[in-house]
Chain A
Amino acid sequence: MKTKNLIALEGNQAIALAMKQINPDVVAAYPITPQTEIVQVFSEYVANGEVHTEFVTVESEHSALSACIGASAAGARTMTATSSQGLALMWEMLYIASGARLPIVMTVVNRALSSPINIHCDHSDAMGARDSGWVQLWSETAQEAYDNLIQAIRIAESVNLPVMVNMDGFITSHAEEVIEPLDDEEVKHFVGEYRPLRSLLDIEHPFTVGPLALQDSYFEFKRSQAEAYKRVIPVLKRVADEFSKITGRKYDLFETYNLDDAEIGLVVLNSTAGTAKEVIDVLRGEGKKVGLLKPRLFRPLPVEELREALSKLKVIGVMDRADTFGGFGGPLFTDIRSILYDVPNRPIVTDYIYGLGGRDVTTEQIFKVFENLENIYNTGKVESLVSYVGVRE
């Protein structure tokens, strides 16, 4: 192993650095808090000739993703980044990117959706896009976001699907963290040369992208698209293996923390997992059998693997940083609970909606969640399947 090259970077800077090292053919992006710094830092790389990227400074996020779709269909390695309202404005084009099987890679710096307007972290933006056909990777730290973005290129191009890498707005995007980046050459070698299956610039072989598919063909298009997601899990594992060989950093479908012998488990995405680990350390010190599962791949949902990892628990608390208004708890909760339906002696699964609009997530809140879960464990009684944490009621 070579000596470690450690540098202090904010999450957004780490993402911009990864983009520079990936050196995509085209980036089309529009500024939005808290993603803006990614665009700014990347602009400097462009201005200084450090990338060969054609950087399209579009007039909206809708046009950002539209331009990415055009570029990707033209056989270019294509990236973008956004947050919140920007992702919402892209919504129409998200489905078109995945339906056209274009391996665009996008960082989503997670931020709450209006209204009321709020610039801080929650996951309502990406959760609103969870059925759009984008592969979703989630990141606890700037290091993970950086590593995920580099791996996302390989995953996207192997399965011809767009990939979204999520990291928490401000908490991760604006906090300085010591990270260990790869060398430029290592990234270049890892992502390799992009060889698209087809390109609209191949003028000798013209073809039509985005035809009108009616009652007799649309369903087959969608059915074959659904099949493509089955390839994501093996590809992700293979890419993670290769990545760990050069970095020593191991990635999988999810990370577990003290889960093997745990009876009470917590499932939580992104930066809150770090806070939860602190709490788990304290509770473990008190002899409590508590553990954590932090999904990395949320779409496609690794159903079998999550079931295997969670089925032996007695009580599971899911923490959702997004609500489904009028629905049955947060999006992560409904998925996890559904996965465990067929398990004999299935665990009790409850939901804790927390941290909306950047509400600070404290260890006290997570201690309370565990207290509640322990209560359920002891009594077998659930007062409320879905509850809200850290809010004035």
Chain B
Amino acid sequence: MPVNIKELSRKEDRLTGGHRLCAGCGAPIAVRQILLAIDKPVVAANATGCLEVATTIYPYTAWKIPWIHSAFENAASTISGLEAAYQSLKRQGKITEDIAFIAFGGDGGTYDIGFQALSGAMERNHKILYICYDNEAYMNTGIQRSSATPLGAWTTTTPAGKVRPGKLGKKKDIVASVAEQGAVYVAQASISNFRDLIEKVRKAVSMDGATFINVLSPCPRGWRTDTSETVNIARLAVETCFWPLYEVEDGRWRINYIPRQKLPITEYLKPQGRFAHLFRPENAQLLEEIQKEVDAKWELLQKKAQLFQ
């Protein structure tokens, strides 16, 4: 079913305005797109993080859906319990509605502290959708590196100093990890390409099993970008193939979008203050290394996709 923006605009927002997320934050953009994509009732679990703290400051809540936060590392386990309760009560005839179960976690709560719980929930194959809104660092505590932080990025725990040029080491490839462990549907999406994201969410919630979507969600505070540039920055991540849009369905890899002209990675890095030090002469080699890494991963992804053409 094609995504009709007119129809979407008439739907009620299930995450209301008035929450305290920062101007230009990618997370609520992602959440609103995701909730708009789903027609049936949604019950959500949220890991500790920006999205959680800023949307539920007691006595207020921005959520118009049943919503639970219990801790940081366990959104996947919490949603597992909700879904298990649903399966049990449905089997007993105590509930009849068709409900979608969604967990939201940032990259810290997903790539790092929640990785075990995520892996467990995926392996048990609960009928859930886990959304990681990836802003590439622990933003809620003040921009500390996570395993989602890309090579060379400045964070407060990987500062660009005299001997260290920001984060050493590559970003963890969580989409591949979850796909390779056999989840029924795994995808990477970006808030800049909303039609793609919405289609992926619709596909995920129609699956009979555990699904995972990693959504790039720029953070102006942590990325040192202009608040009005959030969506453009996310688009540049896609156009440079730093953040390819792809999906893995029952083990079959498919690229959803191929840029007409793949832009050099510097186009993505330049507008972001967190990468400013990379443009100093002494870091030229690192910049080259980053480009090589992006190229190699893009090439590998294309090869994987070719296997299933």
Residues of A within 8 A of B (CB): 25-26, 28, 52-54, 56-60, 62-64, 66-76, 78, 92-93, 96, 100, 200-203, 206-214, 217
> Are A214 and B58 in contact (CB-based, < 8 A)?
yes
Q: Are A54 and B85 in contact (CB under 8 A)?
A: yes
18 contacts between A and B (CB under 8 A): A26-B84, A28-B81, A56-B81, A59-B119, A62-B117, A70-B68, A70-B77, A70-B80, A70-B84, A70-B85, A74-B85, A78-B85, A92-B71, A96-B71, A201-B99, A203-B97, A212-B53, A213-B58
Q: Would A212 and B52 count as touching, CB distance under 8 A?
A: yes
Whether the pair A71, B84 counts as a contact (CB closer than 8 A) is yes
Cβ distance A75 to chain B, nearest Cβ, rounded Å? 7
Within the assembled complex, what's the spacing in Å between the Cα atoms of A75 and B81?
11
Q: Are B66 and A53 in contact (CB under 8 A)?
A: no
Type the 1/0 row for B43-69, where 1 means its CB is closer than 8 Å to any CB of A: 101000000110011110101111111
Does the CB pair A206–B67 fall under 8 Å? yes
In the complex the two chains form, what is the Cα distance from A70 to B117 in whole Å?
A: 13
Known A208-B61, A212-B53; judge A71-B66 contact (CB<8 A). Answer: no
* Contact in complex: B81, A68 (CB < 8 Å): yes
For the complex, give the distance between the alpha carbons of A60 and B216 in Å.
29
B91: CB under 8 A from chain A? yes
Q: B67 to nearest A CB, angstroms?
A: 5
Rounded to whole angstroms, the CA-CA distance of A54 and B86 in the bound complex is: 9
B-chain residues with CB within 8 Å of residue A63 when the two chains form the complex: 74, 76-77, 80, 116-117, 120
For residue A96, give the distance in angstroms from its CB to the closest CB of chain B: 5
Among the interface residues A26, A67, A70, A200, which one has the most CB atoms of the partner chain B within 10 A?
A70
B300 within 8 A of A: no
Across-interface contacts of A210 in B (CB, < 8 A): 56, 68-70
Interface residues on B, range: 35 or more
**A209 → B minimal CB distance (Å):** 4
Q: Which residues of B contact A (CB under 8 A)?
A: 41, 43, 45, 52-53, 56-59, 61, 63-71, 73-74, 76-89, 91-92, 95, 97, 99, 116-117, 119-120, 123-124
Q: Across the two chains, which residue of chain A brings its CB closest to B52?
A: A212
Nearest CB on B from A156, distance (A)? 16
Contact A53 B81 (CB under 8 A): no
Report whether B70 and A26 are in contact in the complex, using a CB–CB cutoff of 8 Å: no
Q: B120 near A58 (CB under 8 angstroms)?
A: yes
In the complex the two chains form, is B123's CB within 8 Å of A66's CB? no
A203 touches B41 (CB 8 A): yes
B71 touches A93 (CB 8 A): yes
Kindly state the separation between the CA atoms of A270 and B71 in the bound complex, as whole angstroms: 33
User: Do B89 and A69 touch across chains, with their CB atoms under 8 A apart?
Assistant: no
Q: Is the CB of B82 within 8 A of A74?
A: yes
Q: B261 → chain A, closest Cβ, in Å?
A: 44
Minimum CB distance partner of A69 in chain B: B70
Is the Cβ of A60 less than 8 Å from the Cβ of B120?
A: yes
- Given the interface pairs A201-B66, A211-B57, A217-B58, the reply to whether A66 lies near B77 with Cβ below 8 Å is yes
Other 13 A-B pairs with CB < 8 A, given A58-B80, A207-B66, A209-B68: A26-B84, A28-B80, A54-B84, A67-B84, A70-B77, A74-B86, A75-B89, A76-B89, A96-B70, A201-B95, A202-B66, A214-B58, A217-B59
Closest CB pairs A-B (n = 10): A70-B81, A59-B120, A67-B81, A74-B85, A76-B85, A66-B77, A63-B77, A66-B74, A210-B69, A71-B81
